[in-house]
Structure 1
Amino acid sequence: MRHRPWISRGDRRNIARLLVILLVVTLLTPVRPASASAELLVNPGLETVDAGGFPSCWERSGWGDGAYAFEVVHPGRTGANAMQVTLTATGGGDRKAMMLENPSCAPNVTPGHQYDLSTWYTSTTPDTVLTAFRRDVTQGWVCWTDLVSLAPATSWTMASVRTPQIPPGTDQIVWGVTIYGTGVLRTDDYAMADATAPAPGSSCSAGAACTQGSWQVLPVESPARGIHAVVLRTGDVLLVAGSGNSEDMFAAGTFTSAVYHPRTGTFTVVPTPADLFCSGHVQLPDGRVLIMGGNKAYPAADLSHGYEGLRDSYVFDPATATYQRLNDMSAGSWYPSATAMGNGDVIALGGLGEDSSGTVATQYFDVSQGRWLGIGEAHQTWSYWGLYPSMILMQDGRLFYTGSHVFGNGLPGSGASIYDYDAATITPVPGLRNKDQRDQSMSVLLPPAQDQRVLTLGGGNIESNPDAHRLTDIIDLKAASPGYVAGPDLPGGTLTGGVAETAAQGKMYVSAVLLPDGTVFETGGALHNRADPVYEASLYDPVTGVFTPGMAVDPVPRGYHSSAFLLPDGRVMAVGDNPGDGSFDQRVSVYTPPYLFHGARPQILGGVDEQWAYGSSHTVTVDTPIVRASLIRPAAVTHSSDPNQRFVELPMSVNGDDITLNLTSNPNIAPPGWYMLFLLGADGVPSVASWVRVS
């Protein structure tokens, strides 16, 4: 809880005088480029103090029962004053010397912009972090993000960081240094400037591709039906078909997988040990792929049983391109979800069991033991979550069921909920519209993952089979009582043949892909159950909350059993389509987004650290100005479902051509494993990804 001191009338007069001085200085300061913008802080040098002797526009703040002291010490690094916080016992909390959360003191910011923050400090403890709060125009002041950890320093040391893009609806931020371990922290000479580069003049000569991007259909078809797609840490793509939704192949024991090599445009067929059709899959911390369940049987002609789920489980090793058998799951799983947790373990929920009924067991893979726990070893709620329920890991370690699922109606209730594995509790979440028409909708954790906002888009219902809708809904999981609110409608598209029966068709089987520039590319889909492909693609900007329609359209229909996903070179690959006549389109399409037509890619000069520890910083030298950096978790997608897809912001400290990237200390924000490191240039062009392992 923040502690806000009472402001006396005299303090208000002092603040008013400061604002007048600041206004005069601003009016006399010539306009400069964004990279050298004016100081945005009031009293950044701490030289003006209030009636209580503490720097004006700053406050003593924090929480917990630990023993602490705030002081103004003399001299400062420059001038007379510095702030000092001493924490002699933590009591489970922290202390912060923070800017005051009021209109006169908190710096104004612009959504979508980024800001360079810096301060000078000394510290006797490594347990310090630069923390930011933001003022949401609807919610008020909320915790925003921890930006960078500070190493101990016996002499004055400068800490600097570039913020992520300011979220929508934010008009002010405050920030300061938090100390959460015993020790002494001293700070002085704060600074804040708008770092957002002005929009560059376009030099693109690629015609419509400059704003729409372009698609290429590869000249070779995939030897495996692209029902499951996993981007491997090698940069290759694993496509898993199993029997590929073919009863003839199932009867013959013909189960297929293939690895696509983007560098050469070729495929390698992989021996496949079981019918992994409609299994679950997730990236493990070491880069192998955990695959669980699959198809034990197709429905019987005499209706004695439906689809039956396998207990089988395997890991696919990218280094050898082979499957290795693990112990069986505790229950059969056909269409299970799979979510990586902050400790690297995996929780599997939902699907159908060996008797064709819904699997109610919570199944838990312990990565340290390399095995599935027995049913009595895992915490149980005995709840049925449906088929491919989208379960997104939250920053506090709980799972958010978004309401996206596969086949028919959702579960009874609100359509979305928060699941606490440790407490074995389920809490309904309100606000999801048309919850029973979210069959093969898609949900994504919006960039950046630190903001904890989820977008759910599109969907239909294979049972009642209405026209798929265009609805999107958004939820802020940081809110005190999270609930969905309506987002903008999908732009809508045209049906087969390019002629729409009515304007703006909705879509189920939709794909949504996180891009290195922080936007979401949505593509593919169909109007009805395994019928009527919809041709449309757009870009969603989480900062503005707006879809940009009119992106280039994949010439291949992408309905049931289709997927799209990000490649390490910043392009998007699309596979699959399995219409109601039983055919399967094995063509592969690759989309080049508009950003790749706007200049040269940023280059990292020298090697990148491959191993990244939580809370660590890594410095790279680049050949061009960089405005954003991120880690994007590689895809493991099927049936419009990849609940582990996430874009992790890397706050930056910029010193000329040297960029220091700061990784979150929270493994629930970035679960352990391999990530694609992207740097974004000032012209919006991303680098080719470097692979790093977070652990």
Structure 2
Amino acid sequence: MPSLHFLQCLPFLILVILHFIFLARAQLPGTWEILVENAGIASMHTAVTRFNTVVLLDRTNIGPSRKLLRKGHCRSDRNDAVLKHDCYAHSVLLDLATNQIRPLMILTDTWCSSGQFLPNGTLLQTGGDLDGFNKIRKFDPCEPNGSCDWVELDDVALIDGRWYATNQILPDGSVIIVGGRAANTVEYFPPRKNGAVSIPFLAEAEDNQMDNLYPYVHLLPNGHLFIFANDRAVMYDYDSNKVMMKYPPLDGGPRNYPSAGSSAMLALEGDYSTAVIVVCGGAKYGAFIERSTDTPAHGSCGRIVATGPDRVWEMEDMAFGRIMGDMVMLPTGDVLVINGAQAGTQGFELASAPCLYPLLYRPDQPGGLRFMTLTPGTVPRMYHSTANLLPDGRVLVAGSNPHVFYKFEVEFPTELRVEAFSPEYLSPDRANLRPVIEGIPETVRYGEAFDVVVSVPLPVVGIVEVNLGSAPFATHSFSQGQRLVKLAVTPTAPAGDGRYKISCTAPPSGRVAPPGYYMAFAVNQGVPSVARWIHLVS
């Protein structure tokens, strides 16, 4: 039996333990904030536009959301099993300057669809379920006070219906649409004469729990595609429809939907000839078939030089097993791993043990030392959550709806809050290092030399980087079209009045950076500026 002295000291001991827990939490890098308490929808798909707005998109056949459409703009669909006359928004636009929400009108079902920005900044959105299966849509972004909205294209459609597909912009500005449920093919927008082309690799990667869905697709600087599905990958020449290289299988089991790992291509730099791919996390095989919510996820990561001669996976482990995590390329070249769960699999109500701790993956550190644990959030972000880099360097976190419809009085409710995570580079003690871009061209051409003028509170020591970050389409633990390109720069030169001039060279071709709008960040000693959008053209 505990002694009287111990019992008298117990409250103090509890306070001491709580103090150290709080101290440990407080010392972890990064901070969280709620941007919007109620966005009206749970965002299954999220994309940031060049007007510093964010498109949030759910599925249409989900019943009432918590945001009404404008008066007189209801959707009527006699085939909708839930709401045949639907006056609720299933897509909204977030203005990052004011955190205000505007409802958008989407007509056809976007459940588990795909997307990509076109060279002119238009968001292309493809596929979905039911009446959205063959559908192509566009969203032409506008100023936050504008009236831009979704447009359903009637003059063109997908040849093969696409559900759980992946989109990737190509060097010529067209978009390849890869895979999908029962669609082991690729096709293009604008459509090509050869139509939908079969890829046997996708069929070979399919198993009895469909682990070839939402394949990880990365455009390599040699112009070919790195396509990863299930536990294997190929280098694919889409022009000739040939597999140029088969990579060795990645140990650890399936990594794609529904087993829910994630992937990123690390920053392209130097002569841009080397591409390194990282694939992290996933569910153990069988968790989806067995509908297991408590099968522990694994935390293994594979890293491979996709363009190198050896092509061997280098393995390491994260601090946490994780499924449904999102990998976000930061302006510095580090990768943020955020969201997800530690057990179960993707699917409605098939995961548990939310993973609230983000991780920072530092590619330049030695193996075994690359992951740093960051400040945990408080909002579980499970199935159908997203993460996107913002122009100010924060990461927008949205969504999470592990249920068929919107449910709130449950353990893991439908999540309507939108948050932002600020990495350590935005901490107050680094404010004096943060550059401000004072001048940058709005448009640059491939291979063109141009100057960027920045100001910095403290004198610059070393070289200020200029890095271009794409605006990907984030969904289902993968950011379609995500890439970061570090430009060739000259040593920073004083330009008077506390300003500095950086001479840069634009990427050499669309293989390195496809045409389109990019967030241009100046990075001083690991601290990025607020980005300025530039248009990269041929």
Task: After TM superposition, give the deviation of residue 615 of structure 1 in Å.
Answer: 0.6
**Contact (CA 8 Å) 2:466, 2:504: kept in 1 or not?**
yes
Task: After TM superposition, give the deviation of residue 428 of structure 1 in Å.
Answer: 2.4
What residue is the counterpart of 1:472 in the other structure?
301
What residue is the counterpart of 2:253 in the other structure?
435
Question: Aligned pair 1:397/2:215, yes or no?
Answer: no
**Contact (CA 8 Å) 2:318, 2:371: kept in 1 or not?**
no
CA–CA distance in 1 between the matches of 2:452 and 2:135?
Answer: 43
Structure 1 residue runs without a partner (length 5+): 1-205, 298-308, 353-357, 367-371, 404-409, 493-505
Greater RCO structure (CA 8 Å; 6+ sep): 2
Task: After TM superposition, give the deviation of residue 248 of structure 1 in Å.
Answer: 5.6
Task: After TM superposition, give the deviation of residue 517 of structure 1 in Å.
Answer: 1.7
The structure 1 residue matched to 2:235, chosen from 418, 421, 437, is: 418
Aligned residue identity for 1:482: R
Structure 2 residue runs without a partner (length 5+): 1-22, 64-79, 204-211, 408-413, 495-499
Secondary structure of the 2:436 match is: coil
**Contact (CA 8 Å) 1:673, 1:693: kept in 2 or not?**
yes
CA–CA distance in 2 between the matches of 1:444 and 1:485?
Answer: 15
The structure 2 residue matched to 1:274, chosen from 96, 104, 108, is: 108
Q: Deviations over 1:243-276 (max 9, x none)?
A: 2655865655556110111110111111112111
Secondary structure of the 2:378 match is: coil
**Contact (CA 8 Å) 2:122, 2:140: kept in 1 or not?**
yes
What residue is the counterpart of 2:332 in the other structure?
517
Task: After TM superposition, give the deviation of residue 678 of structure 1 in Å.
Answer: 0.3
What residue is the counterpart of 1:563 in the other structure?
386
What residue is the counterpart of 2:490 in the other structure?
653
Aligned residue identity for 2:388: F
Identical pairs, percent: 29
What residue is the counterpart of 1:621 in the other structure?
453
CA–CA distance in 1 between the matches of 2:314 and 2:418?
Answer: 36
Secondary structure of the 2:254 match is: helix
**Contact (CA 8 Å) 1:293, 1:333: kept in 2 or not?**
yes
CA–CA distance in 1 between the matches of 2:468 and 2:255?
Answer: 33
**Contact (CA 8 Å) 2:117, 2:124: kept in 1 or not?**
yes
Task: After TM superposition, give the deviation of residue 242 of structure 1 in Å.
Answer: 2.5
Secondary structure of the 2:490 match is: strand
What residue is the counterpart of 2:377 in the other structure?
554
CA–CA distance in 2 between the matches of 1:469 and 1:478?
Answer: 27
Question: Aligned pair 1:688/2:494, yes or no?
Answer: no
Question: Aligned pair 1:373/2:192, yes or no?
Answer: yes
Secondary structure of the 1:599 match is: helix
**Contact (CA 8 Å) 1:620, 1:660: kept in 2 or not?**
yes
Change beyond 3 A, Cα 1:448–1:383 = closer
Alignment of 1:302-451 (within 5 A): 310-319=133-142, 320-326=147-153, 327-352=156-181, 358-366=182-190, 372-373=191-192, 376-377=194-195, 379-381=197-199, 384=202, 386-403=212-229, 410=230, 415-426=232-243, 427-438=245-256, 439-448=259-268, 450=272, 451=274
Change beyond 3 A, Cα 1:324–1:258 = same
The structure 1 residue matched to 2:442, chosen from 610, 613, 618, is: 610
CA–CA distance in 2 between the matches of 1:418 and 1:617?
Answer: 32
Normalising to structure 1: TM-score of the pair? 0.61
CA–CA distance in 2 between the matches of 1:245 and 1:445?
Answer: 34
Task: After TM superposition, give the deviation of residue 335 of structure 1 in Å.
Answer: 1.2
Task: After TM superposition, give the deviation of residue 361 of structure 1 in Å.
Answer: 3.1
The structure 2 residue matched to 1:290, chosen from 124, 145, 148, is: 124
Task: After TM superposition, give the deviation of residue 379 of structure 1 in Å.
Answer: 4.8
Alignment of 1:115-154 (within 5 A): none
Aligned residue identity for 1:596: L
Q: Deviations over 1:416-452 (max 9, x none)?
A: 2222212212342104112325421110001236330
**Contact (CA 8 Å) 1:347, 1:362: kept in 2 or not?**
yes
Q: Deviations over 1:133-157 (max 9, x none)?
A: xxxxxxxxxxxxxxxxxxxxxxxxx
Q: Deviations over 1:590-636 (max 9, x none)?
A: 1111111111421123x311111111111122223253220000121
Alignment of 1:175-186 (within 5 A): none
Change beyond 3 A, Cα 1:635–1:234 = same
Secondary structure of the 1:387 match is: coil
Aligned residue identity for 2:188: Y
Task: After TM superposition, give the deviation of residue 402 of structure 1 in Å.
Answer: 2.5
CA–CA distance in 2 between the matches of 1:434 and 1:424?
Answer: 29
**Contact (CA 8 Å) 2:55, 2:91: kept in 1 or not?**
yes
Aligned residue identity for 1:221: N
Change beyond 3 A, Cα 1:332–1:266 = same
**Contact (CA 8 Å) 1:447, 1:542: kept in 2 or not?**
no
Q: Which has the larger radius of gyration?
A: 1
Question: Aligned pair 1:595/2:425, yes or no?
Answer: yes
Aligned residue identity for 2:263: S
Instruction: Give the total of aligned pairs.
Output: 443
Secondary structure of the 2:478 match is: coil
Q: Deviations over 1:440-470 (max 9, x none)?
A: 1110001236330011010115224431100
Change beyond 3 A, Cα 1:581–1:634 = closer
**Contact (CA 8 Å) 1:255, 1:275: kept in 2 or not?**
no
